A and B are shown apart, each in its own frame.
Chain A
Amino acid sequence: MRLILTIVLCVAWTLPGWAAGPTYRLEPRRIALDTYVFEGAVEHFTQENGGNILNSGFIVTDEGVIVIQTGPSLRYGEEMRAAIAKVTGKPILKVFVSNQHPDYFLGSQAFADVPIAALPGTIDGIRVEGRAVTENMYRLVGDWMRGTDAVVPTEAVLPATQVYGGHRLRLISLSGHTPADLAIYDETTRVLFAGGLVFSDRAPTTPHADIPRWLESLDVLAALDVAVLVPNHGTVRSDGSAISQTRDYLDWLTAALSRAAEGGLDMTEAMALGIPPRFSSLAVVQEEFIRSVAHLYPKIEQSVLIKIN
């Protein structure tokens, strides 16, 4: 019996998660010339996935590496940096963070020695909500977060086209998913890092959403000539279908909630509404729909209640 226990302990000790803590096992996937993506799970933040639900990425330019999103934790940022170093010996030039949500920026401590750039609205959002958001991530994913603190980005992005080592990056300032959404379009490879605005086979999230502005932003992205689209969550695509899928869901969501409010439904009843079958292919759609009702319904129902005094 004691022998068995010893063997079990020895084997367990060699597994990740014991001695060195858990690991994300990040593997970069090459999606275009010089361009790589770390694909996250199409799930919610859980103790099992450690918050690895985002598609982060990097571009290896002649001058150095451009990193796009830093992931949900210090550990993720460190693993990401180690994985990049296996692909190229070039230094990291700059990090871009597309919005203020935790999985986009909480790995930034691992890149503290390089400029971390974000839109001014994102910088403000992280400054105001970063701490609370970080604490909630500890609650949701636990020990994966060890040592993670919110880092406020150090450089404000202005919408412009910048050239880094042969790659012309168009920095597009949009909004709607959050108050400030940065999309990065590489004119050289026609790869679009769409940031938080585009979901692919994964239900959109709406905690900071302004849906009319979000739909306008999708129009801007749909007009680009894109060879590869990297959505923030879900499948990387070689066409714009993820943009229309995101738009279809947001259109339905707003119409369904307006109808519910107009019909006098309570918020709990709106949460129980049926989701059309065409969205059943979107991961976590049931959970996200319920969250979206919590985010959007108070304002929508106010618009149908009549001011009395």
Chain B
Amino acid sequence: MWDDMRAVILGGGDVVFDQRVRVTAPANAEDALNVPVMVDASGLDAEDEVEEIVVFADMNPIPRILNYRPAGAKPLIGFRLKLQQATPIRAAARTRDGVWHVGGVFVDAAGGGCTSPALAHSDPQWERHLGEVQARAWAPAADGGVRVRFRVRHPMDTGLAPGIPAFYLESLAVRDGDARDLGQIDLFEPVSENPVFTLEVSPSAGSRSLCLTGRDNNGTPVLADIPLSWRQSALP
């Protein structure tokens, strides 16, 4: 199983299992539609910069969960995913030298997460809310990172629920006030409906807001300006 996952998901490159890639998730998935996961590879930073984090779940019908490229951000990402059954959840962090550092946890689940229709479909008005963003950024902690959390309204249909085609956010990107790339996320079908993300970014000193952009696999755009409220005063 692991050999297959390694070949399919990570392709080439050296692979080491590395406890510094911390994957946190509850041992039991209370809600198979919303299993919280946090990946923190900042333990690798001292040695080498993390260019990309690839998250996957071996036993999921769609094993790819997301890729994250933290350009101006800590190699840390929190989100929630849908699980179809008990599975390892792994994160592979690729450092600049091309080596994949792999960490993971095992999550038990009653399952059914990927083949259930999104709750949104019980609301006939769901399309009106597509792409809506709720977000907030928190003033920097001691280590200088700006914690930002955002939620995007989207059904994130896997295509595995009968009669509902795959319809999901494919990409999200965060930029600072100078249009500098802070982090890019490629999303796959198992990311939860109305996904909520936690990132820690380093915007330029002059940034008064963060810009969140993205689109789904039908081309629907996502666009939101997330204020850095502590840098904004009443005066222009």
Interface residues of A (CB under 8 A from B): 135-136, 139, 207, 263-264, 266-269, 271-272, 290-291, 294-295, 298, 301-302, 304-309
Query: Could you say which of A264, A291, A308, A309 contacts B30, with CB atoms under 8 Å apart?
Result: A291
Interface residues of B (CB under 8 A from A): 24-26, 28, 30-31, 34, 36-38, 78, 80, 110, 131-136, 138, 147, 149-151, 196, 198, 223-226
B24 near A309: Cβ-Cβ < 8 Å = no
A264 near B135: Cβ-Cβ < 8 Å = no
Query: Which chain B residues border A264 with CB–CB below 8 Å?
Result: 136, 138, 147, 149, 198
B110 near A308: Cβ-Cβ < 8 Å = no
**With A136-B110, A309-B224 known to touch, is A266 a contact of B135 (CB < 8 Å)?**
no
Q: Which of A135, A136, A295, A306 has the most C-beta atoms of chain B within 10 angstroms of its own C-beta?
A: A306
CA distance A309 to B37 in the complex (A): 26
CA distance A209 to B223 in the complex (A): 35
A294 near B36: Cβ-Cβ < 8 Å = yes
Query: Could you say which of B34, B147, B150 contacts A298, with CB atoms under 8 Å apart?
Result: B34
A266 near B31: Cβ-Cβ < 8 Å = no
A184 to chain B, nearest CB (A): 29
9 tightest A-B CB contacts, nearest first: A266-B78, A267-B36, A294-B30, A305-B134, A266-B198, A268-B38, A264-B138, A308-B224, A268-B24
CA distance A136 to B31 in the complex (A): 12
B213 to chain A, nearest CB (A): 12
CA distance A139 to B225 in the complex (A): 45
Query: Could you say which of A263, A298, A308 contacts B135, with CB atoms under 8 Å apart?
Result: A308
**With A139-B110, A271-B26, A291-B30 known to touch, is A309 a contact of B78 (CB < 8 Å)?**
no
A305 near B138: Cβ-Cβ < 8 Å = no
Query: Which chain A residues border B136 with CB–CB below 8 Å?
Result: 264, 304-306
Tell me the number of A-to-B contacts counted with CB atoms below 8 Å.
74
Query: Which chain A residues border B132 with CB–CB below 8 Å?
Result: 307, 309
CA distance A271 to B26 in the complex (A): 8
B202 to chain A, nearest CB (A): 16
**Nearest-neighbor residue (CB-CB) of B78 within chain A:** A266
Contacts A/B (CB < 8 Å), 8 sampled: A135-B110, A139-B110, A264-B198, A266-B38, A266-B198, A294-B26, A305-B149, A307-B133
CA distance A173 to B26 in the complex (A): 35
A145 to chain B, nearest CB (A): 14
CA distance A7 to B87 in the complex (A): 41
**With A294-B26, A307-B132 known to touch, is A301 a contact of B196 (CB < 8 Å)?**
yes
A267 near B147: Cβ-Cβ < 8 Å = no
B23 to chain A, nearest CB (A): 9
**Nearest-neighbor residue (CB-CB) of B199 within chain A:** A266
CA distance A302 to B129 in the complex (A): 15
